[in-house]
Chain A
């Protein structure tokens, strides 16, 4: 397995050397289903139709393996299953399930194949067909890249329809009624005489039957939940203080611990625990990688002890000061650091000639994730087992990484995934779980609850990668005729995947994502090149990953060119767009916002359209330049992620994605000084607060033929739409984030 795993992961992620999955593994390996993890400990009298549905005499349990990090996928997965299983939303329990290859994420193939098609002379559809078997055999279970909806939309409904038809078959045998005369409703099979037989009462009989595989899915006119207002199943608990997150877990006999590790991420040279050990409640101080953990009776005692520690920290394995990070990035437009041409339409060199009409530079900072629930883990290590509870986006890889800490096998690692108090990519990293295991491994048999202080969480955050860009462009006869954009950024995927134990190579798509995916096929000359910057701080995926800044780079530059051409920002974009879905999105947004019509006094609007994760999103931001600074009034957003599964949640997520973008555009960055992050709590990187929040009007279109996720795509356009609005209001072009370096916000 380990050799195969390495080969497949490498093949998948290298990207530039894709070869046929089925050809490597053989047709049998690809066709063979993954074992159903629910079969491992299935009690008598229970039936598991597939990896998502378990029914016993009492309870219907729906497994929702995509991690709920606030985006509502617990509800979405349950709703998709309940739709076809004919369950009401209060008739089942949900469970995150155990990590398993059976929950491999099919939708990673869509994003990966679109990225790869930029590099190899094959269409995305052909690459997709090649990638699917590779992904399946690899069995990577993950939540990220806005893939939960596309991964589950058909798969879970099919699984539930299979269970439903099998239950009908069981009822047919038990009650001697032709299966064609049976129907299902509200958790029961209904016999012709209207007798209702609960699914739970059919579990034993159903367990005898091979699940029915050829099923027909319900048509949209039959849907009870999809596209309707349903009410999230986690909502009441979250509004009454009864929702349980990883940080709330308790276990008999557990101790509390908090880590203090080198803020420069280098080695710990020396430490003095004398004072810490005098703090009441502190039990001991144990060494962990690059630091210590203070073990105590309570969280507060551990925190107090941590503050009383004295350390001698080693140097950072990256540039110590922020200015050097920028200098390194600016110096990266070289042949050695060149990675790939991500887009090369027409002939930019000829069109632009020796002197560009517009030539500008941009830079985007590191930014911390900082979801509100601090990192934590509840871990027990024994000689035979590691049991971990916490929230994570990659459960199967958790087992691999944690086994490596102690020498246990991955099969000896039990991971109970938890709903998380936000993530934004933070819980793709393993440090909290790894350090929890390091502590628990030194006190085998004792449950250890590891809780990060907010300061430690900030300091040890693997931030969004930093980048700089150069744009050169040409305009002629009132049109944009050429765009040449070079982006130099930290190779975020290599940094992140190394910690996940997944070796990768090849050019990093997340240096230029959002730029080369711009839907401007009618722009005659368009080139995007990526450069990798070494010696920077370790970084990780942050909501929308590369597109989180790529959208800002391309859409600010497009705006500058349109201004130079003397064209209208919406009209000229519409002319450049060749993709009808994106075209409709921008048209709808302009119509909603009253683009081109007179605005209220002193109000100005900026527009942006970004295509990321397969979803075009247009945003128009309206601001007012007041005497005290820029005030955000209104945002209009149009997105097309295909069929809308949950109209309420999608609006909430789009509004949240816009706010995430606007808030960080206004005021957030992570900078390094003496090798340490300078921002250590929310006072220094707060994002948006309620008083700054504009009205946000949302419209969703459903022209996209592929169902897509919405967690990330609304974020990228927010940065440039705000910047372009501020330009319209003040004439000041904002080529660096956060914007509060240059303007005040009210």
Chain B
């Protein structure tokens, strides 16, 4: 199987129906993308495929030839944090942090497509990402801060 993740081309020896999530975690060692539910109910495994936020637990690896996959590891560079990640840090969003890779990937995708989302849009787009610690008030605040940073 062939796929491109964070700009790097990979060939991996796996069954074609293997979810992207497990290719990232077990084969490529990119463990920032999290397993939470396996049935697209929690959003912890959210990555970008060709710029859109998707649940990597639901994407078979054999559908990804030619696609550009970006994970949380590829969103920010070492000395150049993505504005959404930066806003998350400044707002001190995380508690356990396990859902936050997915939250950040979802929010980054939302702001890319809608630089000035309404409260209703934020509610609709972000409600597929479960946070058991209950960091939602800070997620909302961080999205607004990121929006400012991104010029929206």
Interface residues of A (CB under 8 A from B): 69-72, 231-232, 234-245, 247-248, 250, 256, 280-281, 298-300, 303, 370-374, 419-424, 451, 453-455, 648-649, 652-653, 655-660, 663, 681-683, 686-693, 695-696
For the complex, give the distance between the alpha carbons of A239 and B100 in Å: 6
Chosen A-B contacts, 7 in total, with CB atoms closer than 8 Å, are: A239-B94, A239-B104, A248-B31, A372-B34, A683-B41, A690-B139, A692-B127
Residues of B within 8 A of A370 (CB): 132
Q: Which single residue of chain A is at the shortest CB-CB distance from B102? A: A372
The answer to whether A256 touches B26, judged by C-beta atoms less than 8 angstroms apart, is yes
Is B5 an interface residue, CB under 8 A from the partner?
Answer: no
Does B3 sit at the interface, judged by CB under 8 A? no
Is there an interface contact between A372 and B94, defined as CB atoms closer than 8 Å? no
Which one of B18, B44, B130, B134 lies within 8 Å of A656 (CB-CB)? Answer: B134
Q: Is B36 part of the contact surface with A, judged by Cβ < 8 Å?
A: yes
* B129 adjacent to chain A (CB < 8 Å): yes
Contact with A along B139-150 (1 / 0, CB 8 A): 110000000000
Contact between chains at A232 and B92 (CB < 8 Å): yes
Q: Do the beta carbons of B135 and A652 come within 8 Å of each other?
A: yes
Residues of A within 8 A of B38 (CB): 303, 453-455, 681
Q: Is there an interface contact between B35 and A247, defined as CB atoms closer than 8 Å?
A: yes
Do the beta carbons of B76 and A234 come within 8 Å of each other?
no
CB-based contact A241/B137 at 8 Å: no
- Look across to chain B and name the residue whose beta carbon is closest to the beta carbon of A454: B37
Contact B94 A422 (CB under 8 A): no
Contacts known (A299-B22, A372-B42); A235 close to B92, Cβ less than 8 A: yes
Establish whether residues B123 and A422, one from each chain, have CB atoms under 8 Å apart when the complex forms: no
Contact at A239–B139, with CB atoms within 8 Å?
A: no
Q: Which residue in B92, B100, B129 is a CB contact (below 8 Å) of A652?
A: B92
Q: What chain B residues lie within 8 Å of A248 (beta carbons)?
A: 25, 31
- Contact among B25, B29, B99, B127 for A299, CB-based, below 8 A: B25
Q: Are B97 and A244 in contact (CB under 8 A)?
A: no
Residue of A nearest to B36 (CB): A372
Whether A655 contacts B97 by the Cβ 8 Å rule is no
By a CB distance below 8 angstroms, the chain A residues around B29 are: 250
Smallest CB separation, A599 vs chain B (Å): 21
Closest B residue by C-beta to A303: B38
Chain A: which residue is nearest B29 at the CB level? Answer: A250
CB distance from A83 to the nearest CB of B (A): 19
Nearest-neighbor residue (CB-CB) of B94 within chain A:
A238
Contact of B96 among A371, A453, A693 (CB under 8 A): A371
Q: How far is the CB of A471 from chain B (nearest CB, A)?
A: 29
Chain B residue at smallest Cβ distance from A370: B132
**Which residues of chain B come closer than 8 Å to A299, judged between CB atoms?**
22, 25-26, 35
**Does A421 contact B98, Cβ atoms closer than 8 Å?**
yes
CB-based contact B35/A234 at 8 Å: no
Bound-state CA distance A248–B97 (Å) is 13
B67: chain A residues at CB < 8 Å are none
Provide the bound-state CA to CA distance between A544 and B36, in Å. Answer: 24
Closest partner residue, chain B, to A232 (CB atom) = B92
Q: Does B85 contact A (CB under 8 A)?
A: yes
Q: Determine if A690 and B95 form an interchain contact, defined as CB atoms under 8 angstroms apart.
A: no
Contact A659–B136 (Cβ < 8 Å): yes
Pair A372/B130 contact, Cβ less than 8 Å: yes
Query: Contact partner of B41 among A655, A657, A686, CB < 8 A?
Result: A686
Q: Are A280 and B39 in contact (CB under 8 A)?
A: no
Q: Is B126 an interface residue (CB 8 A)?
A: yes
Residues in A neighbouring B19, C-beta threshold 8 A: 300
For chain B, which range describes its interface: under 10, 10 to 19, 20 to 34, or 35 or more residues?
A: 35 or more
Contact check, B35 vs A374: say whether CB atoms are below 8 A apart: yes
Q: Give Cα A353 to B14, complex, Å.
A: 74
Q: Does B109 contact A (CB under 8 A)?
A: no
B50 at the interface (CB under 8 A from A): no
B132 with A300: CB separation less than 8 A: no
Distance in angstroms from B133 CB to nearest chain A CB is 5
Contact of B18 among A241, A300, A692, A693 (CB under 8 A): A300
Check A690/B94 contact, CB under 8 A, given A659-B134, A681-B37: no
Residues of chain A within 8 A (CB-CB) of B95 are 70-72, 422, 652-653, 656
Task: Give Cα A653–Cα B133 distance, bound, in whole angstroms.
Answer: 8
Which are the 4 A-B pairs with shortest beta-carbon distances?
A: A241-B32, A70-B96, A421-B98, A659-B134
Q: Which residue of A lies closest to B72 (CB)?
A: A241
Given the known inter-chain contacts A69-B96, A241-B101, A373-B98, please indicate yes or no for A656 contacting B135, CB distance below 8 A: yes
Which residue of chain A has its CB nearest to the CB of B123?
Answer: A691
B32 pairs with A373, CB closer than 8 A: no
**Given A235-B92, A239-B104, CB of A688 within 8 Å of CB of B97:** no
- Residues B132 and A655 in contact, CB atoms below 8 Å apart: no
Q: CA of A27 to CA of B75 in the docked complex: distance in angstroms?
A: 59
| Contact B92–A690 (Cβ < 8 Å) | no
Q: How far is the CA of A240 from the CA of B92 in the complex (A)?
A: 13
Taking CB atoms and an 8 Å cut-off, the chain B residues in 86-136 that contact chain A are: 88-89, 92-101, 104, 122-124, 126-136
A704 smallest CB distance to B (angstroms): 23
Is A691 touching B127 in the complex (CB atoms < 8 A)? yes
Are A236 and B89 in contact, CB atoms less than 8 angstroms apart? Answer: yes
Q: Are B94 and A235 in contact (CB under 8 A)?
A: yes
B92:A231 contact, CB within 8 angstroms: yes
Chain B residues with CB under 8 Å of A236's CB are 89
Taking CB as reference atom, which chain B residue is nearest A696? B137
- Beta-carbon contact of B134 and A454 below 8 Å: no
Pick the residue among A235, A250, A298, A682 that contacts B130 (CB under 8 A): A682
Determine whether B10 belongs to the interface, using a CB cutoff of 8 Å to chain A: no
CA gap between A303 and B35 in the complex, in Å: 12
- Further contacts, 9 of them, CB under 8 A, given A231-B92, A372-B36: A71-B95, A247-B31, A298-B27, A299-B26, A371-B98, A372-B130, A660-B134, A682-B37, A686-B130
Bound Cα distance A692, B126 (Å): 11
Compute how far the CA of A175 lies from the CA of B131 in the bound complex, rounded to whole angstroms: 54
Verify A681–B44 contact, CB threshold 8 A: no
Please tell me if the beta carbons of A70 and B97 are within 8 angstroms of each other in the complex: yes
**Smallest beta-carbon distance A299→chain B, Å:** 6
Assuming the contacts A238-B100, A239-B104, A299-B22, asked whether A691 and B124 have C-beta atoms less than 8 A apart, the reply is yes
B73: A residues at CB distance < 8 A: 240-242
Q: Which residue of B lies closest to A300 (CB)?
A: B22
Q: CB distance B132 to A424 under 8 Å?
A: yes
Q: Closest residue of chain A to B38, judged by CB?
A: A454
Asked if B129 contacts A235 (CB within 8 A), the reply is no
How far is A111 from B134 in the complex, measured between Cα atoms in Å? 26
In the bound complex, how far is the Cα of B29 from the Cα of A244, in angstroms?
A: 12
**Complex: how many Å from CA A420 to CA B97?**
9
User: Across the interface, do B136 and A298 meet the contact criterion of CB distance under 8 Å?
Assistant: no
B31 touches A373 (CB 8 A): no
CA of A196 to CA of B38, assembled, Å: 54
Q: Is B127 in contact with A373, judged by CB distance below 8 angstroms?
A: no
Q: Which residues does chain B contribute within 8 Å of A235, judged by CB atoms?
A: 89, 92, 94
Bound Cα distance A583, B134 (Å):
28
Question: Inside 8 A of A652's CB, which chain B residues have their CB?
Answer: 92, 95, 135, 138
A663 touches B134 (CB 8 A): yes
B15 close to A (CB within 8 Å) = yes
Instruction: Say if the beta carbon of B1 comes within 8 Å of chain A.
Output: no
Chain B nearest Cβ from A236, distance in angstroms: 6
Q: How far is the CB of A251 from chain B (nearest CB, A)?
A: 12
Alpha-carbon separation in the docked complex, A656 to B93 (Å): 11
Closest residue of chain B to A256 (Cβ to Cβ) is B26
Among the interface residues B38, B98, B140, which one has the most CB atoms of the partner chain A within 10 A?
B98
- Report whether B133 and A241 are in contact in the complex, using a CB–CB cutoff of 8 Å: no
In the complex, the answer to whether B22 meets A373 with C-beta atoms within 8 Å is no
Chain A residues near B42 (CB, 8 Å)?
A: 372, 682
Contact at B134–A234, with CB atoms within 8 Å?
no
Q: Determine how close the nearest CB of chain B comes to the CB of A337; give it in whole angstroms.
A: 34
- Chain B positions within 8 Å of A420 at CB level: 96
List the B side residues contacting A244 at CB < 8 Å: 31
Tell me if B44 and A690 are in contact (CB < 8 A). no
